[in-house]
Amino acid sequence: MNSKNNPKEEIHWQVTANPPPESSAISSDLTVDTVVIGGGLTGCRTTLGLAESGMSVALLDAHDIGWGASGRSGGQCNPIWRETPEQLIKRFGESQAERLINTTINSADALFSDIAKYKINCDAVQAGWLQNAHSTAAVKSLEKLASGWSAAGATIESIEGDALRQATGSPAYNFGLRHAAGGHVHPLSLTRGYAQVAQEKGAQLFSNSPVTSIEQKGKQWKVKCPNGSLTAERVVLATNAYSKDLLPGLQQTFLPMVSIAIATEPLTADLQAQILPKKVTFSDSRLAIYFARYDADGRLIFGCVGSSETVGTLGGHQRLRQGLLTVFPELKNTKLERTWAGRIAVTPEMMPHLHEPAPGLLAAVGFSGRGIAMTSVMGRTLSAKILGAEDNTLPFPVTPLEKVPMHAILRRVLPLSAPAMSLKDKLDTVLQKAK
């Protein structure tokens, strides 16, 4: 790669997405059944479900629809958790875990069915996901993950040696898992697509409408923005890693980590035939997790963990370049077009939380880098709950807000975690090569 090539700091998906649905800032006082705060995938999918049922619903975003992680994402649909089904059973008990496991196994198919059903044009490709091991210890934990999830019904096969090198075009891995249901989407077009369909079904969309307070007034909630307000019986907070203090304690339930990404120039046909040749997506077991997939024009999107929303903080540019060349050395002369960053909400168990801190007030945050399939699952769950589904039928348990231990200190040192994770990953690969 030409080290003098500085990619433009610009969100690739903003440049390549379908146009947004029409929306403007709220400028009057309205009453609806439900207000959804946060126009990412979670908020948009929730709004769609409610509008489809005939409920009056308004969606508000502080910026544009898809401004947050949903419009910056790698867009990979990775349809399992980092814990095995056995661990989930221990954590949640048998019946809750069973609902979660079944929903998880179907989450990718459910996402691609949604896309087909609502005719959302978002470059959706369901060609599988390769999850590769960077060390011997990681091989063992991936094997355990595969055997647990396969036994529960997921379609996962292990792939090794030359077969893996051919499937990835990378010399960096000897062992991986192929998840047949995985795939990728244009994340901003998907988010805008959900919002557009919701609007067609009657939802009101408000952009540039930061919610400044939520107050309970009897059985109603009053949601205030700088130039207007909404009164509703139900409010959903879908603000994920961009949550501030609207709901006291919510932002202490996760750590707002950063993920950074680059888009290369479109790869030549020869390179596309070598690298991820079947348009499969890939991510690995590093703490600073490397991931890659193609966009619709043959650009490779590659990412890893970052330190701040300015990509270059604490060596971010270098980490991306080094990562890309470690995995795909054949890209040494490839130009980088764009680079960007976004926030992900990471919970201690790396799974999202569903909260109901007061009757009529719901919050769902903490997708921990697994948001593409799981935000849609959560959106469907939130709308089902609002429409009357009992908690004991939902895939996610409804839990109290619980602060991450030592949250204030961890938040302060968070920018250092990306270089620290990279160092640990390098030591892993030096000390114990994957089999």
Ligand X SMILES: Cc1cc2nc3c(=O)[nH]c(=O)nc-3n(C[C@H](O)[C@H](O)[C@H](O)COP(=O)(O)OP(=O)(O)OC[C@H]3O[C@@H](n4cnc5c(N)ncnc54)[C@H](O)[C@@H]3O)c2cc1C
Question: Which CB sits closer to ligand X, 183 or 419?
Answer: 183
Q: Which residue is nearest to ligand X (CB)?
A: 371
Q: Does 259 bind ligand X (CB under 6 A)?
A: yes
Q: Which of 39, 354, 13 is nearest to 194 (CA)?
A: 39
Q: Encode burial over 278-317: b for 16+ CB neighbours within 10 A, e otherwise.
A: eebbbbbbbbbbbbbbbbeeebbbbbbbbbbeebbbbebb
Subset of 175-234 contacting ligand X (CB under 6 A): 210-211
Query: For residue 337, which phi and psi values (nearest 5 degrees)?
Result: -90, -50
Contact 353, 366 (CB under 8 A): yes
Q: Does 239 bind ligand X (CB under 6 A)?
A: yes
Q: Does 251 bind ligand X (CB under 6 A)?
A: no
Distance of CA 425 to CAs 32, 256, 288, 290, 429, Å? 50, 21, 7, 11, 6
Q: Does 40 bind ligand X (CB under 6 A)?
A: yes
Q: Does 316 bind ligand X (CB under 6 A)?
A: no
From the list 65-73, 80-88, 192-200, 315-323, the region that binds ligand X by CB under 6 A is: 65-73
Q: Which of 354, 426, 435, 341 is nearest to 397 (CA)?
A: 354
What's the min distance (Å) between Cβ of 16 and ligand X?
15
In 29-136, which ranges are E strands? Answer: 29-31, 34-37, 57-60, 76-77, 129-132
Question: Which CB sits closer to ligand X, 316 or 342?
Answer: 342
Q: Does 133 bind ligand X (CB under 6 A)?
A: no
Q: Does 291 bind ligand X (CB under 6 A)?
A: yes
What's the min distance (Å) between Cβ of 373 and ligand X?
6
Selected from 34, 46, 47, 78, the binder of ligand X by CB under 6 A is: 78
Contact 312, 328 (CB under 8 A): no
The DSSP 8-state label assigned to residue 71 in this structure reads G
Question: Which CB sits closer to ligand X, 325 or 350?
Answer: 350
Binding site for ligand X (CB under 6 A): 37-43, 60-63, 67-70, 72-76, 78, 210-211, 238-242, 246, 259, 261, 291, 303, 342, 344, 367, 369-372, 375
